[in-house]
Structure 1
Amino acid sequence: MSHILKIVGRRAAVTQARLPNWAIWKTCVGQNGRRGASTATSTKQSAQDRPVRRFDEIPGPKGLPFIGTALDYSPFGRFPIKTKMANSTIERYKKYGKIYRENLGPREMVFVCDPKDIETVFRNDGQYPERPVSDFIVTYRQLKKKPIGLAQLNGEEWFRVRSSVNKDLMRPKAVGAYAGLQDEVSRELVGLVRGVVRKGETSGQVPDFTKLLYKWSLESLSLVVLGKRIGCLTLDQLPEDSDAQRMIGAVNDFFIGFAKLLMSPPLYKYISTPTWKRFERAMDTITSVAEKMIGEKLKELRQMEQPPEEADFLTSLLSREDMTLDEAIQMAVDLLNGAVDSTAHTLVFNLFLLAKHPNAQQKLYTEIMEVVPAGQPIDDRVLNKMHYLRAVVKETSRIYPTVLNTARILTRDVVLAGYRVPAKTTVLLAQNVISTLPEYYPEPESFMPERWLRTGSSNVQSFSLLPFGYGPRMCVGRRFAEQELYLGLVRIIQNFNVGWEGEDMKQVWRLVNAPDRDTFIFKERET
């Protein structure tokens, strides 16, 4: 038996007894950073015309004892977290400038709103970039006796696990091998939308379109993680007790609970609050469903007499000797959890801006038809030829970011905006503020994908937009998420003229941003 099957057989035997004991976490959200080619030291930064100022001189809102500015983010505050979370950094910037301090309960944070300072933070990441851990995630996993997961690791342990999964998740060739399979799912999505449009009963609207995209995203990534379809992409309401529907519903509850726990006092450590109970139930459901799917895949592998000619992602992950069984299963669970909403929401934001800007939509359609005529398959080489497609996605990320900002814990003292910020300080990189400033983006209120094309007029400053982060802690699922997004966008625009009806879309915050409506009008293109 091959090395892979030996390991899978050994692990699968253990899995039958231990599978219910593992946890989940969305690895992609908030994992940002990529090691720079050089390190900018605080000594070099200090050589400025003006003297470096003390940390306690950084301006910011005062807040109240113990709770800081937490009331500002309550339902009755200035920035209720669901609807106006993004407004806080913009208004703070207007009042305090490109750097400010804020206390949310016991957490003191420094916000920076300048690409040069963002670059300084990333260049000083060191070998083991650190990010804040979520105490309630750690609490949950300790209660359930489950491993921490990649997103909650720092230091050498993070480096060991991340280095191992990079071999499968960050290599373009490894990701590109799945393009054809993921394209099949996107074409099936188009077929479902076409069926609704041709019935003529909804005037081109697709009821619960965002929920349909949740199914599309989960179906697409299951091909990557499990190596098979799970059969959830349908217009029909999935049975409430189906694995796919349980997963989708639980992920929604997870993010709602996460947002509330993040902005509330940690009472969950002492009493089981209603928010904690809902969050715990969501975590339990996501874990059990994902582990069931993975267990079925392990059973299939264990029954093979000969190894597959090409190992899929899960088989490859399980065969790694530099990861434990728990860590390998954890990573697969994390990726399935991350499949449901982030990519779906990003696709909705792209479609909305294209619907509101028909000239840009026509330009994208022209590029698509030149590169991949109708009926032709799409692979990663084809996607690499679509420059305007990538420009559209970048511009959408600027105007409608799926993730508001990136967090770091400084591993050394640095100078930001003229202030010395000590090591171990939590720094938030407020790129949503930068996206609104004309000094970085001329006519920032305008949707202009052309600003991202490599022409003589393109002068977008480095580090002004990093939707997936930068460096070693860049989103671990970035390449798969981008490929899935590109394929969905190409197939929809290739087949439909997308319009919009009613009030403009707004974003609501629940750890990642979500659309508050999806009143698209789909009209079939003439072939």
Structure 2
Amino acid sequence: MARGALPVLGHLGRILRDPMEFFTVARELGPVVGIRLGPRTAYLVTAPDLVREMLVGGYREFDKGGSYFDAVRSLAGNGLATCSAQDHMRQRPLMQPAFHSSVLPSYTEVMGACVEEVTGEWRPGGTLELDEEMRRLTSLVATRTLMTSEEGAQAAADVARALPLLLPALHRRVLIPVNWVHRLPTPGNRRFERTQAGLRASVDQVIAQYRRSGVDQGDLLSLIMAARSEGDGTGLSDAEIHDQIMSVLLAGIETTASLLSWTFHLLSRHPDVRKKLVAEVGEVLDGGRTATYRDLTQLRYCKRVLTESMRLYPPGALLSRVTTKDVELAGTPIPAGSDVLFCTYSLHRDPQVFAESEVFDPDRWLPERVTPAQRKGFFPLGAGRRKCIGDSFGLIEAAIALATITARWHFRPVDTRPVRPVLRTTLMPSSLRMTVERREVGGRG
């Protein structure tokens, strides 16, 4: 058991003050560490091999659940990202066509147009809250690939307005896993419920409109609604489709925004890496044009930069499972119904797995340098059957945005104070105020 637990609160006080430090320090206490979340005992798994065992081999015994996913379920419902293993067996095949490799190229034109729209409002010498700009970009991509009808555009606008209000409350539900606290009639809880109800009504209207028209809009939602089970020929109900929409929006917006925000932060602090990236995108995107799907195979260093950024600052920095029966990990008995946590931020900085683990080194992902331990200890988007279904979509989006923006713009940090990782639904920088400058085509650094 980790030391320093307080009556009633347990370790929540320390976790709320600096969650990444708490979980990183706990790594030294053993492969499985008991921690107190209020009145409950949870188990933190700190060994990469045990985490992989849970995610790949033990996905039924360690099901989606626990404090993180219970909180996300309060907003996203029982979609693919949060559902149980049993529901996942039905939902995954029905969702797969929307994210199949054959349809991904059709989305990249929308991704490039969204990059053009957001960056078209930037002015040389201006100051940006770059993390907010990246969230604005990923919101456009998520909503415009998901719902392209006129009603969908209105719902997309509603989502963009609602998420900034909902996410702070969702974060509190993650870190304070005490249900009655979030049912109290406080102004914040009432605002969460009111905003959530309005968003639900807006999304349900879009589903109803798509049902009435029966027209294939050529978007993600059309593919989701058209999917049928090979077994009995049934599709997803309207309630299930609603939950899938919310899951796709929540995961798609926040995860890629986190990845891009941290990547631009790291590039601003590592001019040697930035110089190599600028050289690559200058060669591939001749004249500073917008990146396309065909360019991705040539943007090899760009891909390594994104991978290394996810290692140091994984979007899903703290995740959870719940045990479906009594189990044992590394000699530690864990009762059925227990929360089991794992911190990818800490796992990815394990010096036994990643040499010079605190160093931002994209070339550690060169084929000749990648070790088996490194591959097995890397969990930015999960592993096994529950690995994120939109992983390829998100990485393509991030590569299109990173390459296109780097070819045209340069960022200088406004604040000299250290940027801290802040745990929300994803791991975001504490502040990312940047001065933006236009890069000359063919310019270096």
Structure-2 change in CA distance of 1:253 and 1:376 (3 Å): closer
Change (3 A) 1:140 1:521: closer
Q: What secondary structure is seen at the aligned counterpart in 2 of 1:323?
A: coil
Q: Is the 8 A contact 2:81 2:247 kept in 1?
A: no
In the alignment, the residues of structure 2 paired with residue 418 and residue 511 of structure 1 have an alpha-carbon distance, to the nearest angstrom, of 31
- Tell me what 2:231 maps to: none
Counterpart residue number, 2:230: none
Report the counterpart of residue 22 of structure 2 in structure 1. Answer: 88
Q: CA deviation at 1:206?
A: 3.4
Query: What CA distance in whole angstroms lies between the structure 2 residues aligned with 1:205 and 1:460?
Result: 44
Per-residue deviation at 1:468?
Answer: 0.8
Matched, 1:157 2:87: yes
Shift of 1:293: 4.8
Q: Which residue of 1 aligns with 2:138?
A: 217
Distance 1:326 1:396, change over 3 A: same
Q: Please tell me whether the aligned partners of residues 277 and 301 of structure 2 are also in contact (alpha carbons under 8 angstroms).
A: yes
- In structure 2, how many angstroms separate the alpha carbons of the residues matched to 1:214 and 1:323? 29
Q: CA deviation at 1:319?
A: 1.9
1:68 paired to 2:10: yes
Q: CA separation of 1:478/1:107 partners in 2, compared to 1, >3 Å: closer, same or farther? A: farther
Alignment partner of 2:382 out of 462, 469, 475: 469
Corresponding position: 1:522 with 2:430:
no
Distance change (3 Å), C-alpha of 1:513 and 1:496: same
Query: 1:256 matched to which residue of 2?
Result: 168
The corresponding residue for 2:282 is 369
Q: Map of 1:235-314 to 2, 5 A cutoff?
A: 246-264=158-176, 265-268=178-181, 271-294=184-207, 301-302=213-214, 311-314=218-221
Q: Which range moves more in the overlay, 99-108 or 328-337?
A: 328-337
Structure with the bigger RCO (C-alpha within 8 Å, sep 6+) is 1
- Give runs of aligned pairs for residues 76-155 of structure 1, distance below 5 A: 79-80=16-17, 84-94=18-28, 96-126=29-59, 130-132=63-65, 134-135=69-70, 148-155=78-85
Structure 1: segments with no counterpart, 5+ residues? 1-58, 74-78, 142-146, 198-203, 233-241
Distance 1:441 1:137 in 2: 30
Question: Is 1:384 the counterpart of 2:297 in the alignment?
Answer: yes
Counting matched residue pairs gives 431
Partner Cα distance (1:65, 1:518) in 2: 37
Residue 426 of structure 2 corresponds to residue 512 of structure 1: yes
Asked if 1 retains the 8 angstrom alpha-carbon contact of 2:316 and 2:344, the reply is: no
Does the 8 Å contact 2:75/2:246 carry over to 1? no
3-state DSSP class of the match of 1:329?
helix
**Contact 2:288–2:407 (CA<8 Å) still a contact in 1?**
no
Which residue of the partner structure matches residue 104 of structure 2?
Answer: 175
* CA distance in 1 between partners of 2:358 and 2:83 (Å): 38
CA contact (8 A) 2:348 2:357 kept: yes
**Alpha-carbon deviations, 1:206-260, whole Å to 9, x = none?**
334433333221211222211369999xxxxxxxxx8666533421222211222
Corresponding residue to 2:222 among 287, 310, 315:
315
2:359 is matched with: 446
Task: Between 130-139 and 382-391, report the one with greater CA deviation.
Answer: 130-139
**Inter-CA distance 297–113: structure 2 relative to 1 (3 Å threshold):** same
Query: Does structure 1 retain, via aligned residues, the 8 Å contact 2:48–2:376?
Result: yes
Measure, in 1, the Cα distance between the counterparts of 2:410 and 2:72.
Answer: 43
Separation of aligned partners in 2, 1:325 and 1:459: 43
Residue deviations 1:437-467 (CA, integer Å, cap 9, x gap): 3222222222111111112475652332211
- Aligned 8 A contact 2:55 2:386 in 1: no
Specify the SS of the correspondent of 1:207.
Answer: strand
1:31-42 to structure 2, matched below 5 A, reads none
Instruction: Name the aligned partner's letter for residue 242 of structure 2.
Output: I
Q: 1:465 to 1:328 in 2, by over 3 A?
A: same
Whether contact under 8 Å (1:190, 1:495) holds in the other structure is no
TM-score scaled to structure 1, two decimals? Answer: 0.73
Listed as ranges, the gaps of 5+ residues in structure 2 are 228-233
Per the alignment, in what secondary structure is the counterpart of residue 64 of structure 2?
A: coil
Q: Post-superposition shift, 1:400?
A: 2.2
Distance in 2, Cα, partners of 1:417 & 1:164: 36
| Structure 2 Cα separation of the partners of residues 140 and 350 of structure 1 | 28
Write the mapping of 1:406-425 to structure 2, written as runs, cut at 5 A.
Answer: 406-411=319-324, 415-421=328-334, 424-425=337-338
Q: Which has the larger radius of gyration?
A: 1
Give the C-alpha shift of residue 122 in structure 1.
2.3
Cα gap change, 1:420/1:231 in structure 2, threshold over 3 Å: closer, same or farther? closer
CA distance in 2: counterparts of 1:470 and 1:136, whole angstroms: 21
Deviation at residue 405 of structure 1 after TM alignment: 2.4
Q: Equivalents in 2 of 1:270, 1:191: separation in Å?
A: 43
Q: Distance in 1 between matches of 2:71 and 2:409?
A: 43
With over 3 angstroms needed to count, the CA separation of the structure-2 counterparts of 1:212 and 1:462, relative to structure 1, is closer
**Structure 1 contact 101–111 (Cα < 8 Å) conserved:** yes
Contact 1:115 1:461 in 2 (8 A): no
Residue aligned with 1:467, SS: coil
Q: For the Cα contact (< 8 Å) 1:110–1:427, is it kept in 2?
A: yes
Alignment of 1:226 onto 2:147: yes
Q: 1:166 aligns with which of 96, 110, 117?
A: 96
Deviates more, 1:130-139 or 1:464-473: 130-139
Report the CA distance between 1:360 and its aligned residue.
Answer: 0.5
Q: How does the TM-score come out when normalised to structure 2?
A: 0.85
| Percent identity for Structure 1 against Structure 2 | 21
- Alpha carbons 1:180, 1:378 under 8 Å: kept: no
SS in 2 for 1:108: strand
Distance 1:380 1:471, change over 3 A: farther
CA distance, structure 2, for counterparts of residue 129 and residue 250 of structure 1: 32
> Are the counterparts in 2 of residues 222 and 230 from structure 1 also a CA contact under 8 Å?
no
Distance in 2 (alpha carbons) for counterparts of 1:168 and 1:452:
29
Aligned-partner Cα distance in 2 for 1:231–1:518: 31
| SS of structure 2 residue aligned to 1:521 | strand
The answer to whether the 8 Å contact 1:131/1:409 transfers is: yes
**CA drift at 1:403:** 2.0
2: CA distance, partners of 1:99 / 1:375: 49
